[in-house]
Structure 1
C-alpha cells in the first residue's frame, strides 16, 4: 500500500502545518500584538486546544483509511448521511493553493535575487516589493510556475515515493538551517531584546484583540479544516498513536515559530530597520537588515529564504494532496493525470490572482475595489479554514456518537484524557472559532 511510515506521517503533517504560517505569519502577528502576551496565549491555546483539534481530524481519516469525503460518509451515524456534504471542505486546499503558491513564488524571487541586489534602506525595499507586485508580473509568474510545477511533480509520485521522501529531506534541513541562524542571532547584541519582546509577559497587554489574534494564529498554523490532516492520517497505520503524533507536530511547530521570531526580531532590532506588518516584515524589513550585515548578510539572507522555501513547499504539496486522493480513490483515476489536471486549474486561477495585483489589470480583476488576490487571501484565513475546522469538530463531537468515538480512541487515550479531550472538542473549540470570527467582524 502507498502509505506513510509512522515517522513519515509525523514529518508530512508537520510540514503541512509549519509552512508560511509559522515562519512568515507568526512573527508579524507577534509584532502586531505586543509580543509576550500574544506568544503566551498562542502557546497555551495551541498546546491544549490545537492538539485536541489535530487529534480530532486525525481520527476521522485514520480510522476510516479513506479520502476526506468518504471518511465523513462512513462515520456519519445518521441513515440519511447528511454529513456527506462536509467532504466539500477538501476544496479549500486547491483554493488556498492558488494564492499560497503565488506568495511562495515571491520567496523564490527573493532567494534568486538576494545576492544580486539587497535594498539598502526602507525606500528601496518598498519600491522593490511594490514593483514586483504591480509591474513585474513576469517574475511572479516564473516563481509561481516553479513552485506549482515542483508541487505537482512531488504529489504525482505518490505518498511514499513523493511526499514522504521530500519531507524526510526538507524537514530536517529546515531545522538545521533555522538552528544555524538562531545560533548566529544569539551572538548579536540585540538577541536579548528579541527574547524580552517575545517572552516578556505583561498582564496588562492582554485584551480582546490579542486573544482573537492568538486564536486565529492557532487555527491558521495547524492546517485544519481543509482535509489535509484527514487525508494524511488516512495514509498511515490505523494503529498509530494519534495523540503522540499530534504532540510531535504541535511542539515542533511551536519551536520553529519561536526560533523564527527570535531570528527575525534580533535582526530587526540589531540593524534598526522599521518592523513592517504583514508581508512587509519578511519582504521589506528583513532584506534591509541583511544588507546592513555586509557580505555576511548575503549568506544569512540565502539561508533564511531557503528555509522559508522549504517550509512553503511542504505545505503546497499538502494543499494539493487531499483533492488528488479523493479523485484517485473515488473514481479510480490515475494519480499522475489527476494531479496535473487539478494543478492546471490552480495555475490558471493563480495567474488571474497575479494579474489582479498588476496596476495595468487590477481594475478589471477587482471586486468592490479589492483585488482578487486579497479576496482569496482573506477568505482562506477568515472563512475557509476556520469553517472547515468547525465542521470537522462538530462532526467528531456530535455526529459520530460519543461511545463510538470512545472506541476509536482506545489505545492512546485513557478515560480521563478522553473526557477532557471530548469536552474540548464539543465545547471549547466551537467557542474559540466563533470568538475568532467575532473578532474579525469587529476589526
Structure 2
C-alpha cells in the first residue's frame, strides 16, 4: 500500500496545527490565564512551551517520518533488534480512542451552541435562563446524541476522502476561516467600552498577582498547559510526520506549529478577557466560561446573535480539526494492523466511536450517579483524567526515551532524521537535556497531577491512586530499559 503524502508544506503545518489547536486553547487557556495573573502567567507559559513542548513534538514527528507508519507500527519499525518497545503502542491506540470518547461530546455541544447562536437563543436572555439552557442540554439525551453523532459523521466523512482530497483540503479551509473569525472577534472585543482594563491585565505582567496565587501553583499550571497544549503523547501528531517528506527539517516545522497553536491561544484570550472586564465578569470563572459566562455577554451585546454564532463557529472548527486528525489515526490503525482498505476502516471506526461516545453522553443524565473520581465527577472527567493525566504524559515520556536510548531508536538515528532537510536544526548539544532533563520534567508533571487530583480524597484513596501511578510509570520505564535476550545464546 503506497503511503500518501501532503500536497504542500502549508497543508502539513495547518493540519498538524489543527490537531494541536483544540478546545483546550480556548476553553482552558483564558481561564487559567485569568486565574493566575494574566501576562505574568503567559511569560512563564511561553518559556515552558519552548523548552519542553517543542522538543517532545519534534520527537513525535521524527518517529512518524522515520517509520512512515502510525503509532500502531512505528516502534516495531524503528526499534533495535533487542528492544522491547512494542507494548507502548497501546498508549497511543487506547489514547486516541479514549480521547474521542469524550472530545466528540464536547464538539457536539459546540455545534449545538453554534446553532443556538444563529437562532438567537441568547439574545435578551437572562443569566438564569442561559444557565438553564446549558443544564437542559445536559439532561436532554436525544439532543446530546444527535449532535455527538453528527460531528462524528462529519469527521469520518472527511477521512473517507483520504489525506489530500479530504483532510488536507478541508482543514486548510477550516483553519483559514478559524484564524479570520478569531481576528474579527478579537478586534470586536478589544474595542468594547471598558475593555482597556482587561487588555492591561492581559498584556502587563503582574507578579504581585502571581505571588498571591502562589508562585509554585502558577509555574506548575504554566508547565502543564505548555505540555498538554500541543496534543503530544498518543501519536495524534506522529501520523502527520509519517506523511511528510524529507525536504524540511523537523524543528522548524514544530516551531511553526507551536507558533500557530500559541497564536490561537493568545488570541482567544484577547477575545474573552477584555469582554469579561467590559461586562464585569470574572475571567477566571472556569470551564463554564464558554457555555454560561460568554453567552451572558452575547446576550448584552449589540448584534449578539451574529457574534455568538461566529464565536461558536470558531470553536466548532477548533474542535473539528482535532477530531478529524485523531480520526485519521484510528483509520490508519486498522489499515496498517489489519490490512483493511480506507472505506472499510472508516465505516468500522465511525460505528465504534459513536458507540464508545455514548457513556460520556449518558454520564450527564442517565448515568450521572457514576462518580468514580469523587462526588460531582462525571464519566467525562474519568475519561479526560485517563488521557490527560496518564496517557499523554507517559506516552510523551515513551517517545523521548525511545529517541534517546540505544535499545530504542537511538540518539544518532533520531538526530539524523530530525535534521534532514533545509531549515532550523535541532541542537546536538541538547542531548543530555533531552535524555535526562525532559524525562524528569514529565515525571514531575505526571506525579504532581496525581497528587493534586487525589490529595483531598482521604488517605486510603490517595495512597491507592499513587501506587497505581507509580506502577504505570514503572511499566513505561521498564519498556525503555529492558533488553530482549539474544535467542541464539
> What TM-score range do you get, normalising by the shorter chain?
over 0.9
Map 1:20-169 → 2, pairs under 5 A:
20-77=23-80, 79-91=81-93, 92-114=95-117, 115-118=119-122, 120-133=125-138, 135-169=139-173
Structure 2 residue 239 is matched with structure 1 residue 231: yes
Q: Could you tell me which of 316, 319, 334 is aligned with 1:327?
A: 334
Q: Which runs of 5+ in 1 are unaligned?
A: none
* CA distance in 1: counterparts of 2:373 and 2:199, whole angstroms: 42
Contact 2:38 2:206 in 1 (8 A): no
Cα 1:421–1:277 change in 2 (3 A) is: farther
Q: Could you tell me which of 273, 289, 300 is aligned with 2:307?
A: 300
- Which range moved further: 407-416 or 307-316? 407-416
1:23 CA displacement: 1.7
1:225 CA displacement: 0.7
Contact 1:171 1:310 in 2 (8 A): yes
Contact 1:49 1:428 in 2 (8 A): no
How far does the alpha carbon of each residue in 1:10-45 deviate from its partner, in whole angstroms, 9 at most, with x for none?
111000001112122211221232222221111111
TM-score (norm 2): 0.85
Contact 1:15 1:311 in 2 (8 A): yes
- Which range moved further: 143-152 or 360-369? 360-369
Structure 2 residue 273 is matched with structure 1 residue 281: no
Structure 2 residue 389 is matched with structure 1 residue 385: no
* CA distance in 2: counterparts of 1:196 and 1:73, whole angstroms: 52
Contact 1:73 1:81 in 2 (8 A): no
Contact 1:52 1:421 in 2 (8 A): no
How far does the alpha carbon of each residue in 1:391-428 deviate from its partner, in whole angstroms, 9 at most, with x for none?
11111122322222232234459999422443442233
Q: Could you tell me which of 326, 343, 346 is aligned with 1:339?
A: 346
Q: How many residues align?
A: 439
1:201 matched to which residue of 2? Answer: 205
Contact 1:276 1:284 in 2 (8 A): no
TM-score (norm 1): 0.93
Secondary structure of 1:110 counterpart:
helix
Contact 1:13 1:249 in 2 (8 A): yes
Contact 1:56 1:425 in 2 (8 A): no
Secondary structure of 1:392 counterpart:
helix
How far does the alpha carbon of each residue in 1:282-307 deviate from its partner, in whole angstroms, 9 at most, with x for none?
1010000011113x111111111111
Structure 2 residue 7 is matched with structure 1 residue 2: no
- Which range moved further: 174-183 or 27-36? 27-36
Cα 1:357–1:188 change in 2 (3 A) is: same
How far does the alpha carbon of each residue in 1:128-169 deviate from its partner, in whole angstroms, 9 at most, with x for none?
212211x21221111111111111111122111111011111
User: Could you say what the CA RMSD is over the residues aligned between the two structures, in angstroms?
Assistant: 2.1
* CA distance in 2: counterparts of 1:208 and 1:413, whole angstroms: 40
* CA distance in 2: counterparts of 1:159 and 1:423, whole angstroms: 37
Structure with greater Cα Rg: 2
Contact 2:72 2:337 in 1 (8 A): no
* CA distance in 2: counterparts of 1:384 and 1:277, whole angstroms: 27
- Which range moved further: 104-113 or 432-441? 432-441
Secondary structure of 1:180 counterpart:
helix
* CA distance in 1: counterparts of 2:295 and 2:423, whole angstroms: 50
Which of the pair is proportionally richer in helix? 1
* CA distance in 2: counterparts of 1:407 and 1:41, whole angstroms: 31
